[in-house]
């Protein structure tokens, strides 16, 4: 089992030590700043990733993904999973990004290993969103039909 030989430097102490050791190679600098482990066979392994992360954090640039979150739920992944009851739920992140409102209707078109949701321009949706050009609707349907034919 590997052990860390000494507590690695962080913050201002790390920045000062890196400045002092600027003439040394980066592996040696990381090692002298405490970013290494010693294995059972006395082999020294330098951990450059932790060293660089600590350097960036010391300069005020944290890269950890946890720090970029606002603490309110998960981030959008653009993936969904079929639930045990057979349903697929599309989260509010996606529907809000598309400007969808409760009551908006879609037609479901099944293809080979894919599902297309096609927004329906119903009368209640038209009054709220405005009508799309009819030619655009026809072009979209033709594209979907061509995709389905190509996949079969």
What pLDDT sits at residue 3? Answer: 52
Q: What is the pLDDT of residue 23?
A: 92
Which residue's entry shows tokens 């009819």? 134
The set of residues, in sequence order, having a beta carbon less than 8 Å from that of 117 and lying 6+ positions away, is 106, 107, 108
CB 33 within 8 Å of CB 51: yes
- What is the pLDDT tens value at each position of the chain, 152 positions in all? 455 556 898 889 999 999 999 999 999 999 999 999 988 888 889 999 899 988 988 888 766 655 445 556 666 677 888 899 999 888 888 888 888 888 888 899 998 888 888 888 775 655 554 444 444 444 455 555 555 555 54
Instruction: Provide the CA 142 distance to its chain's centre, in angstroms.
Output: 33
- Virtual torsion, Cα 27, 32, 36, 38, nearest 10 deg: 110
pLDDT at residue number 40: 85
> In the prediction, which pLDDT does 116 show?
87
- 3-class DSSP string for 74-140: CCCCCCCCECCCCCECCCHHHHHHCCCCCCCCEEEEEECCEEEEEECCCHHHHHHHCCCCHHHHHHH
The predicted structure's pLDDT at residue 135: 43
End-to-end Cα separation, the chain, in angstroms: 55
pTM surpassing 0.85? no
């Amino acid at each position: 089992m590997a052990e860390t030989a000494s507590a690695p430097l962080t913050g201002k102490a790390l920045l000062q030590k890196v400045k002092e050791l600027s003439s040394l190679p980066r592996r040696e600098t990381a090692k002298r700043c405490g970013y290494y482990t010693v294995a059972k066979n006395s082999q020294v392994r330098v951990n450059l990733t932790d060293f660089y992360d600590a350097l960036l954090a010391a300069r005020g640039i944290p890269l950890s993904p946890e720090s970029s979150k606002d603490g309110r739920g998960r981030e959008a992944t653009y993936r969904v999973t079929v639930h045990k009851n057979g349903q697929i739920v599309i989260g509010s992140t996606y529907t809000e990004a598309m400007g969808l409102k409760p009551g908006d209707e879609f037609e479901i078109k099944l293809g080979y290993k894919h599902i297309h949701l096609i927004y329906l321009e119903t009368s209640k949706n038209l009054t709220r969103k405005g009508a799309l050009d009819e030619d655009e609707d026809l072009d979209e349907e033709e594209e979907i039909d061509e995709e389905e034919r190509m996949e079969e």
